[in-house]
Every structure is written in C-alpha cells, then in structure tokens.
Amino acid sequence: MESPGIILAFWIFSAITVAGCLMVLVSRNLLHALVFLVLAFLGMAGLFLTLSADFIAVAQILIYAGSIAVLMVFAIMLTPLAARDNGNSLYVLPALAAGLGIAGIIGFVAVNSPWAQLTGDALKQGDPDTTVSVIGDLLVGRYVLPFEVASILLFFGLLGAIVLVHERRGARESS
Amino acid sequence: MTADVRRPATPMEQQIREHRSLVQRALALGGGWKFILGVVGLGTLIALAAGGFLVVGGYLDGRWYDIRDLGIPTSHLVYWMQAQGLSPAVPYLTTALLGGLGILSLVGGWLVIGSWVERRVIAKFQIRQGPNRVGLFGLLQPVADAVKLMQKEILIPLGADRLLFFLPPILIFLPAMLGWAPVPWAPRMSYVDMNVGVVYVIAISSLGVLAVFLAGWSSNNHYALLGAMRTVAMMVSYEIPISLSLLSVVLLTGSLQLSQIVAWQQQYHVWLIVVLPLAAFTFLFASTAEINRTPNDIGEAESEIVAGFHTEYSGMKAGLFLAVELGNAILVGAMMSTFFLGGYTLFGLELWIPGYLILATKIGAVYFVFVWLRATLPRFRLDQLMGFAWKFLIPLAIIQLLVIAVESMVIAQSGLPGIVTVGGSIAVNLVLTFVGVRAWASGIGYVSEAAASTPLLTNTVGGLRAAERIRVVS
C-alpha cells in the first residue's frame, strides 16, 4: 500500500463506491437505484483489486454486477407498482433498524480488530502469489463440507424453481 | 453455361460469363503496370528473404527492434526509463497507455473497416457486388455511413428516462473494449496477463446484458422492451453453456490464465477444438447468441420486432449499437482462437511469423465463419433457441465436463506420454460427442432430415434449373 498509485486508486474506488451507495438511497426511481448499485459493485471490485484479491474482484463483477443486477431487473419488471416510481416505501423503520444494526456490527468489528497485528508484515507473510489456487485448495480441502452443503442448497433451490413453474399437463387441460 | 440453354442469357449470367479471374486481369495489364508490379513483388521477396536471414541468424533475438513480439520493445522501453532514474509510475503509465491505445486503435479501426468487410463478403455469398461506389472498392462507404449517421437528429422519445436513455450506447462498449485485456498476442504481449483471465472474460461479457436491458426499458416503447427482454433472456441462458464449455477448457489445461491455455496447446501440439469438439461448438454457437448475431439475432430481429432494443435510438447512437456487434464479433473471434484454435501459435511457425499476425489471421477466419453463418442460416425462433440452450447444450456440456474431469486427471498424473493420454482423450471425446449428440437429439425428439441434400423449396419455387425445366416442358 506504499506506492502512490495504489493509494490514489483506493481513494477513487472508495469515492465511486460511497457515491454509488448514496445515490442508491437518494434516487426515487428503482431502475436508477439499480444502476447506481451496479456502480457501487464495480467500485468494490476495484477495491478488491487494490488488495490483490483478483479472484474476488472478478467474482464480484461476475456475480453482483452481472447476475444479481439482472435478477433485480427481472424482479423490478415483474413487480407491480415498482416499475417507474418508488415514492413511498412501506418498510422505512425496519430498513433503518436493519441498516443501523449492520453498521453497528461492522463498526464494532472495525474498532475492536487488532489492526497492528493484521497489516504490514503479517499481511505480506501470508500473501500468496495467486489467490485462485489457494482458494481452490481451500474449497475442496479444508472447507469441502460447507462447499458441498452450499451446492446442495443451490441444487434444491434450482429444483424448487423448476417445480414451482412446472406446468402439469392435466392442470392446463382442466382450466 | 453450356450451349444447351435455349433462352437469352440473364444479366447475371452475362456478368458471370464476362467475369475475368485475377490472373486474367493481371495479364491484361499494360507493360508499365507489369513492370511496377514485378518490381514490387521482387522487393517483397527480397525483404522476406532478408527477414528470414535475420531471424535464422538470431540477429533479432531479444533486441529492442524485435517486432516479432511487441512485448520485447516495450520491456526495453521500460528498462530504458528505469535506467534514466524515473519514478516507477512513469513506465507503468506509459505501458498502460500504449497498450490501451493499441486496443483502442484495433477496435476503432475495425469499426471503421468492419462493416465494409461484412457487407462485401455477404454480397459475395448472395452473388451481388456490395458497396463499391464510394472510394476505391467502396472502402469509404463506412465513413460515408458514419457521417450520415452523425448528421441525423438525436431523438429522445417523450416519456423516455433521459439518464438511462443516454447511458446504454456507451455502456455497451465496455465489454467490447475491456474483453481484449487478457488476450495474449505473443508470448510476452498481452495487456494484462491476469491469472483469472477466463473468469474475467465471463464476468466482463455479462456486463453487456444490463446495457441492453436499460436501452430497451428507458425507451418507453413496447417493441424496445420486448426486444430487450428477449435479448436478456437469451444472453442469460447462453452464459451457462459458455461458462461450462470454458470450464472444460480450464479443467483440461489446469489454468485460468489465457497465456497458460495457449501454452498447453503449444506443449501438446494440438488445438483444443480437436480435443473438445463439443465445447468448441458450444462456445461458438452460444457466442453468436451472446453477441446478437445471426442465426441468434433474436434481440433485433428486424422482421419481427422492428429493431429490438434499440428501436428508439437514432443517429450515431443507433450506429454505436450496430457497430458494437462488429467489435464483439472480433472479440469472440479472439477468444475462440485463444481457447480452441491455439492462440498465437501455429505449430512452430510462431517463431518465424509475429504471433499477433497469426492471431489476427485466426480472428479473421472465425469472423468469416460468423459472416458465413449470417449469410446462410435463417433466424431461430425464440423458443427454439432457449430450448436448444437448456435442453441440448447444457446437459451435453455437463456430461462432457464429467468426462473431461477424469481425462484431465489422467493427463496430469498418469505419467504416460502426452500422445497416449491426449490422443486417447481426443478419441474418447470424438466418440462421446458423436454418440452423445445423436442419442440425446433423438431422445428429446429432434428428427434429422432424411434427404437434406434435396433443395425442395428451391426446386418448387424457382432457381435457374427449375426455370429451364419449366421452359422445356412448356
């Protein structure tokens, strides 16, 4: 983190992320909010890049900016009252409470972390050349059980989606 | 045409009869032209011989003027800058700008010349001339088109979302430009040879979906929204076969880095299209869907939904949407060449010929296949297209993925020579592809046409021979 380029990049990406998140809150049009959310995702991918976490950065673009955004697009399109204007929200108070709670947790962790022991030389010692192979080894080695559980969960999600939209032949004829 | 034609020649037949080959035209040239061409040809031969002498003698290896690999002059530039005692930011920025300029000029130059190439080639397929009026061979036609488009008024429909209407023509160029970053043009010549190259390619290509959707939604037009929804559904569906086919490539080569994938093909002296025919086909076909080209140009099916998601765009904004297809086409060509056609290598010839020329030739070949498909095939229906992705490509790709997983373990860890393991994999995959495609297709109810070579429609409706037959009968 010593070179000026990294620091400059950090501030630029932070500004993009924070501005994007603020605009998500401010904009009254849901599609506008979505575009700014994608901007924030891209800024976060850039932040990951400045931390040399290239796989996580690319996965951030692939999953959040690419797929989740399209999923949200479909959700907005298929929800009545949400297509053009988002003037009134029913969940202001729960949303505020949840947001404050998450901010509190993150702030607590940030304040209580022993940063002096985690950064600098300690970070350089544990810094692998490529993150991909390390992540791969951990996924099918140490964390193989959570990995399998997650894949089974996703598989059931897929099955559930198919069952939900499956049109039975008899049902269509009777109706 | 032989003498048994009992009717006056049609204009087209006259043209074909009067058409002279290149050799005939060259022989008919005047003496001065022959002399000039001869001198130019001799000069080219001498230059080639001199180049060959330099290469064989090893006079070029690693010098700053070794342009067989543009990474070498660049790294010499960096060394020189470091020797001058400049701060490390200067060479970094310089090389970044140089590479970016290279990509920009490549894509920009192709946008200028590509539409001419595409129209001329399609014209040849359809026995037409194509644009040949503006400039030499019609080469200035794209410039004329661009000037025309820029002169047009930029219309913004009533009720359109102005911000989101403005963004998509710019956003849609992001994948077409950023996707070039990891492509290796020569051993040391790629913009960012990142070790997550394949994931990066997939991630970047998925960004285009959002631009397409925003364009359709913000236009406040039913046709545009319909086209956008169709395109988004298609692109989302076809991202899965693309990812699966690239996953089998990654499994086999054991790396996410594009240069490593090329190096694997170089090491085993085989192109991955031979080892993974099904994955290569899947990638090619799904890419045509991803970049909206015929036979999968559901998004802007002119004859069905006006112009799809960019119906409401006018002037140069519409021009950008049309131009990005050209940029995407050569990007997919580069990806196809890198993943399946050996990249910048050509069985040892890359030591003699600059690797980037080889890659450019392969990109051109893949692009020609795209144009060929566009000139030949009709458009798929939306349900056919989606059914093909979900019921055909994805299951077969998953089955192939399992087989590849076993094969890659055998290749990596059995210790047998590569010709045995890779050759065995090729045989297994070929058989699997053939049997699997036939069995799966008949299993889900595709019927192959019994005598597909009989052009039933052509014979019934028309064509030269049919016209002759009718004339003989009457």
Distance CA B456, CA B459 (A): 5
**Would you call B196 and A132 a contact, using CB atoms and an 8 Å cutoff?**
yes
The answer to whether the Cβ–Cβ distance between A67 and B207 falls below 8 Å is: no
Considering the domain architecture, whether residues B55 and B201 belong to the same structural domain is answered as no
Q: Which residue from B252, B261, B260, B296 is spatially nearest to B408, judged by alpha carbons? A: B252
Nearest-CB residue to A31 (from B164, B194, B207): B164
Query: How many domains does chain B contain in total?
Result: 2
B196 touches A at CB < 8 Å: yes
A83 → chain B, closest CA residue: B217
Q: Binning pLDDT at 50, 70 and 90, where does residue B1 land?
A: very low
The pLDDT value recorded for residue B469 is 60
**What is the domain-level CATH number for residue A18?**
1.20.120.1200
B53 — pLDDT class (breaks 50, 70, 90): confident
% of chain A beyond a pLDDT of 70: 83
Please give the radius of gyration of chain A, using alpha carbons only, rounded to the nearest integer.
21
| pLDDT exceeds 50 at position A137 | yes
Q: Where in the sequence is the domain holding B201, given as residue range(s)?
A: 152-443
Question: Residue B85 domain-assigned?
Answer: no
Contact A132 B195 (CB under 8 A): yes
Residues B166 and B21 in one domain: no
Average pLDDT over residues B67-75: 78
Cβ of B214 within 8 Å of Cβ of A35? The answer is yes
Q: Is residue B2 scored above 70 in pLDDT?
A: no
The pTM of this model reads 0.83
B85-121 pLDDT per residue, tens: 777 778 888 888 888 898 899 888 898 888 888 888 8
Considering only CA atoms, which of B282, B178, B302, B198 is closest in space to residue B240?
B282
pLDDT 10s digits, B122-178: 888 877 778 878 877 788 888 888 888 888 888 888 877 778 888 888 888 888 888
Nearest to B198 by CA among A6, A3, A59: A59
Secondary element (H or E) of residue B454: none
Q: Is the pLDDT of residue B8 over 50?
A: yes
CA distance from start to end of chain A: 66
Contact A70 B214 (CB under 8 A): no
Between these two residues, B15 and B404, which has the higher pLDDT value?
B404
Between B135 and A154, the more confident residue is A154
pLDDT, position A175: 44
Q: Which residue has the higher pLDDT, B340 or B377?
A: B340
Domain annotation covers residue A173: no
Q: Is the Cβ pair A61, B204 closer than 8 Å?
A: yes
Domain presence at residue A168: no
Burial class (CB in 10 A: 0-12, 13-18, 19+), B203: buried
Kindly report the three-state secondary structure assignment for every residue of B3-19: CCCCCCCCHHHHHHHHC
**B141 inside domain:** no
Residues from chain A contacting residue B92 (CB–CB below 8 Å): 5
Determine contact: B207 vs chain A, CB below 8 A: yes
Q: How many domains does the structure of chain A reveal?
A: 1
The residue in chain B having the minimum alpha-carbon distance to the alpha carbon of residue A57 is B200
3-state secondary structure of B186: strand
How far is residue B232's CA from residue B289's CA, in Å, rounded to a whole number? Answer: 10
> Residue B355: its pLDDT value, please?
84
Longest dimension (CA), chain A: 71
List the single residue in B89, B195, B196 with the smallest CB-CB distance to A5. Answer: B89
Q: Are A38 and A65 contacting, i.e. CB atoms less than 8 angstroms apart? A: yes
Residue B217 touches partner A, C-beta closer than 8 Å? yes
Is A105 within the bounds of a domain? Answer: no
pLDDT in tens, A39-95: 999 999 999 888 878 888 888 898 888 888 888 888 887 776 665 565 566 777 888
Mean per-residue pLDDT for B196-222?
A: 86
Domain range enclosing A44: 1-87
Look at B293 and B49; give whichever has higher pLDDT.
B49
pLDDT at A24 over 60: yes
Q: Report if residue A143 sits inside a domain.
A: no
Residue A20 above 90 pLDDT?
yes
pLDDT tens string B248-273: 999 888 888 898 888 888 888 888 88
Taking the C-alpha atoms of residue B344 and residue B347, their distance in angstroms, rounded to an integer, is: 10
With respect to residue B276, please indicate whether it lies within any of the assigned structural domains. Answer: yes
Mutate to test the interface with A, among B87, B196, B232 (most CBs of A within 10 A): B196
Tell me, yes or no, whether A44 lies in a domain: yes
The pLDDT assigned to B265 comes to: 87
Mean pLDDT of B463-473: 58
Chain A residue with CA closest to B198: the answer is: A58
In 3D space, the residue among B413, B433, B396, B402 whose CA is nearest the CA of residue B248 turns out to be B402
Give yes or no: residues B44 and B162 share one domain. Answer: no
B68 or A88, higher pLDDT: B68
pLDDT value at position B465? 59
DSSP A68: I
- Please give the C-alpha separations between residue B332 and each of B91, B180, B200, B359, in angstroms, as whole numbers: 31, 10, 14, 12
Read off the pLDDT band of B44 (50, 70, 90).
very high
CB neighbour burial string for B240-265, b if at least 16 within 10 angstroms, e if fewer: bbbbbbbbbbbbbbebbbbbbbbbbb
pLDDT at A97 over 90: yes
Does residue B274 carry a pLDDT above 70?
yes
Q: Choose the weakest-confidence range: B12-21, B262-271, B275-284, B390-399.
A: B12-21
Where residue B184 falls (left for φ over 0; alpha for ψ -120 to 50; beta otherwise) is beta
Does any domain span residue A66? yes
Residue % of chain B over a pLDDT of 90? 7
Contact B89 A3 (CB under 8 A): yes
**Cβ within 8 Å of residue B132, ≥6 positions away:** B138
Calculate mean pLDDT across residues B445-465.
60
Instruction: Tell me the backbone φ, ψ of residue B60, rounded to 5 degrees.
Output: -95, -25
Let me know if residue A129 belongs to a domain: no
Q: Which of B22, B40, B59 is the last residue of a domain?
A: B59
Tell how far CA A99 is from the center of its chain: 15
Q: Where are the alpha helices (DSSP H) in chain A?
A: 4-26, 30-50, 54-59, 69-78, 92-112, 115-118, 121-125, 131-140, 144-165, 169-174
The DSSP result for B245-307, as a single string, is: HHHHHHHHHT-S-HHHHHHHHHHHT--HHHH-HHHHHHHHHHHHHHTT-TTS-GGG-HHHHTT
Residue B114 included in any domain = no
For residue B316, being part of any structural domain is answered with: yes
The one-character DSSP state at B295 is T
In terms of pLDDT, which residue wins out, A17 or B22? Answer: A17
Say how far residue B137 (Cα) sits from the centre of its chain. 24
The overall average pLDDT reported for chain B is: 82
For B422-445, the pLDDT digits (tens) are 888 888 888 888 888 888 878 877
B297 and B160, same structural domain?
A: yes
- B167 touching A (Cβ < 8 Å): yes
Statement to judge: residues B241 and B377 lie in one domain: yes
With CB atoms and an 8 Å threshold, state whether B232 touches A58.
no
Q: What is the pLDDT of residue A172?
A: 53
Q: Does B199 contact A55 at a Cβ distance shorter than 8 Å?
A: yes
Check residues A23 and B384 and name the one with the higher pLDDT: A23
Give the pLDDT score at B301: 67
d(CA B380, CA B288) in angstroms, rounded, equals: 12
Tokens 């192959």 found at:
B448
In a domain, B108, yes or no: no
User: Each residue of B181-203: pLDDT tens digit?
Assistant: 899 988 888 888 888 889 999 88
The tokens for A117 are 């022991």
Burial class (CB in 10 A: 0-12, 13-18, 19+), A29: middle
Residue A116 lies in a domain: no
- Does any domain span residue B84? no
Among B323, B302, B312, which Cα is nearest to B154's? Answer: B312
Interface contacts (A, B; CB < 8 Å): 67
Q: How far is B327 from B370, CA to CA, in rounded Å? A: 13
Question: Which residues of A are less than 8 Å from B167 in CB distance?
Answer: 35
pLDDT over 70 (residue B320) = yes
B202 closest CB neighbour out of A29, A54, A62: A62
- Residues shown for chain B: 474
Determine the pLDDT at residue A153: 95
B156–A contact, CB cutoff 8 A:
no
- The amino acid sitting at A3 is S
pLDDT range class, residue A107, cuts 50, 70, 90 = very high
